[in-house]
Amino acid sequence: MADKRNMVIFAAAKEAGILEKEMKNVLVGHKDGFFEITFSTEWMMYDMYVEEESMMVLGVDFRPIPVNSLLESLPESVQDAS
């Protein structure tokens, strides 16, 4: 199963147009012949469905990371720059 998990991660990275090393908080689930993979990058959050047999990405949802979350990752001295 670890090998299929790696294939799902590769397929998701390719679909998103990013490198695997850019993926953070990667979660992979499996049910009824499909994998669901959720992950984030520095600026975006993704949720994808991958068909187990073909490893084709069949569904993609993506959205920007909320601004408040981005601000929390900045040093405190930069957060109050306004």
pLDDT reported for residue 70: 55
55: left (phi over 0), alpha (psi -120 to 50) or beta: left
pLDDT at position 16, please?
96
- Please, which pLDDT band fits residue 82 given cuts at 50, 70 and 90? low
Q: Please tell me the predicted confidence (pLDDT) of residue 38.
A: 97
- Mean pLDDT taken over the chain: 88
Say what the pTM is: 0.79
pLDDT digit string (tens) for 22-57?
A: 999 999 999 999 999 999 999 899 999 999 999 999
pLDDT band at 77 (very low <50, low <70, confident <90, very high): low
Q: Do residues 79 and 71 touch, judged by C-beta distance below 8 A?
A: yes
Q: Which domains does the chain have, with CATH numbers?
A: 2-79 (3.10.450)
In total, the chain counts a number of residues equal to: 82
